Amino acid sequence: METIIEMGRISSRGQIVIPADIRLQLGLEEGTKVMFFAEEDTLLMKKVTEQSFAQLTRPLKLAAKQAGMNEKDVPEILHKFRKNKR
């Protein structure tokens, strides 16, 4: 896969346009899910496929199982986390 380097700009609404060449190369179409990773001054974006989603969530599922959590616990945990973050 060829490396493409493009410059972009963030809009007043926080939106970024992904250059057409990059969208074509990665097969990014309307509705494609992406995941963002931020560390210090670096932001990475990864296209999420069913396979990559399974790989990314596998360690989380194992940790939840070991902690005795199940899927119905998630909304309450997220609510508490978001409330504490404010």
Residue 54: both structure tokens together: 């399974």
In order of their start, the domains of the chain are: 1-48 (2.10.260.10), 50-86 (no CATH)
Contact criterion met (CB below 8 Å) for 19 and 8: yes
2-44 confidence digits (pLDDT tens): 888 888 899 999 999 999 999 999 999 999 999 899 999 999 9
36-83 confidence digits (pLDDT tens): 999 999 999 988 887 777 787 788 888 888 888 887 887 888 888 888
Q: What is the pLDDT of residue 41?
A: 93
Of 82, 5, 43, 67, residue with least CA distance to 34 = 43
